[in-house]
Amino acid sequence: MNYDLIVIGSGPGGYVAAIRASQLGMKTAIVEKESLGGICLNWGCIPTKALIKSAEVFEYINHAAEYGIKVGGSEVDFEAMIKRSRGVADGMSKGVQFLMKKNKIDVIMGTGKLKSKGTVLVSTSTGTQDFTAKHIIIATGGRSRELPNLKQDYKKIIGYRQAMILPKKPASLIVVGSGAIGIEFAYLYNAIGTKVTVVEYLDNIVPLEDEEISKQLARILKKHVISIMTSANVESVDTSGDLCKVQVKTATGTETLEAEIVLSAVGISTNIEGIGLEENGVKTDKGKVVVDDFYQTNVEGVYAIGDIVKGQALAHVASAEGIICVEKIAGLKPEPLNYGNMPGCTYCSPEVASVGYTEKAAKEAGYEVKVGKFPFSASGKASAAGAKDGFIKLIFDAKYGEILGAHMLGHNVTELLAEIVTARKLEATGHELIKSVHPHPTMSEAIMEAAADAYGECIHL
Give me the residue whose beta carbon is nearest to ligand FAD. 141
Task: Look up residue 415 and give its DSSP letter.
Answer: G
Q: Between 316 and 388, whose beta carbon lies closer to ligand FAD?
A: 316
The torsion angles phi and psi of 428, rounded to 5 degrees, stand at -70, 160
Identified binder of ligand FAD from the candidate list 6, 19, 40, 52, rule CB under 6 A:
40
Q: Between 93 and 358, whose beta carbon lies closer to ligand FAD?
A: 93
Those residues whose C-beta lies under 8 Å from the C-beta of residue 303, and which sit 6 or more positions away, are 135, 136, 137, 138, 291, 294, 295, 296, 297, 325, 329
Q: Between 13 and 410, whose beta carbon lies closer to ligand FAD?
A: 13
Is 160 a binding residue for ligand FAD by CB under 6 A? The answer is yes
440 is catalytic: yes
Is 112 a binding residue for ligand FAD by CB under 6 A? The answer is yes
* Residue from 63, 407, 411, 440 carrying the catalytic annotation: 440
Q: Of residues 275-314, which lie at the interface with ligand FAD (CB under 6 A)?
A: 275, 306-307, 313-314
Those residues whose C-beta lies under 8 Å from the C-beta of residue 91, and which sit 6 or more positions away, are none
On the 0-12 / 13-18 / 19+ scale of CB atoms within 10 A, 429 is middle
What are the beta bridge partners of residue 124?
127
Tell the smallest beta-carbon distance from residue 446 to ligand FAD (Å). Answer: 22
Tell the smallest beta-carbon distance from residue 292 to ligand FAD (Å). Answer: 18
Tell the smallest beta-carbon distance from residue 375 to ligand FAD (Å). Answer: 25
CA angle centred on 309, ends 409 and 202, rounded to 5°: 45
Stretch that binds ligand FAD, among 38-46, 126-134, 234-242, 358-366 (CB under 6 A): 38-46
Instruction: Build a one-symbol-per-residue string for 248-277: x at contacts with ligand FAD by CB under 6 A, - elsewhere.
Output: -----------------------x---x--
Alpha-carbon 293 to chain mean position: 22
Amino acid at 69: I
Tell the smallest beta-carbon distance from residue 53 to ligand FAD (Å). Answer: 13
How many Cα atoms occupy the beta-carbon half-sphere of 390 within 13 Å?
Answer: 25
Alpha-carbon 460 to chain mean position: 33
Stretch that binds ligand FAD, among 7-15, 85-93, 229-237, 363-371 (CB under 6 A): 7-15
Tell the smallest beta-carbon distance from residue 9 to ligand FAD (Å). Answer: 3
Q: Of residues 125-154, which lie at the interface with ligand FAD (CB under 6 A)?
A: 139-142
Is 423 a binding residue for ligand FAD by CB under 6 A? The answer is no
Identified binder of ligand FAD from the candidate list 318, 329, 409, 443, rule CB under 6 A:
318
Q: How far apart are CA 87 and CA 89, in angstroms?
A: 5
Tell me the CA end-to-end span of the chain in Å, nearest whole number: 66
Is 48 a binding residue for ligand FAD by CB under 6 A? The answer is yes
Quote the radius of gyration of the chain (alpha carbons, Å): 23
Tell the smallest beta-carbon distance from residue 325 to ligand FAD (Å). Answer: 11
- CB of 234 closer than 8 Å to CB of 176: yes
Identified binder of ligand FAD from the candidate list 26, 44, 51, 453, rule CB under 6 A:
44
Stretch that binds ligand FAD, among 149-157, 315-323, 324-332, 368-376 (CB under 6 A): 315-323
Q: Of residues 360-379, which lie at the interface with ligand FAD (CB under 6 A)?
A: none
Tell the smallest beta-carbon distance from residue 275 to ligand FAD (Å). Answer: 5
Q: How far apart are CA 57 and CA 54, in angstroms?
A: 5
Identified binder of ligand FAD from the candidate list 5, 14, 356, 450, rule CB under 6 A:
14
Those residues whose C-beta lies under 8 Å from the C-beta of residue 37, and which sit 6 or more positions away, are 10, 11, 12, 15, 46, 89, 92, 93, 95, 96
- CB of 330 closer than 8 Å to CB of 26: yes
- CB of 314 closer than 8 Å to CB of 181: no
Q: Between 112 and 177, whose beta carbon lies closer to ligand FAD?
A: 112
**Burial code of 401-413, b = ≥16 C-beta within 10 A, e = fewer?**
bbbbbbbbbbbbb
Tell the smallest beta-carbon distance from residue 31 to ligand FAD (Å). Answer: 5
Identified binder of ligand FAD from the candidate list 7, 32, 89, 237, rule CB under 6 A:
32
Residue ranges that bind ligand FAD, judged by CB under 6 A = 8-14, 31-34, 38-40, 44-45, 48, 111-112, 139-142, 160, 181, 271, 275, 306-307, 313-316, 318
Which residues are known catalytic residues?
Answer: 440
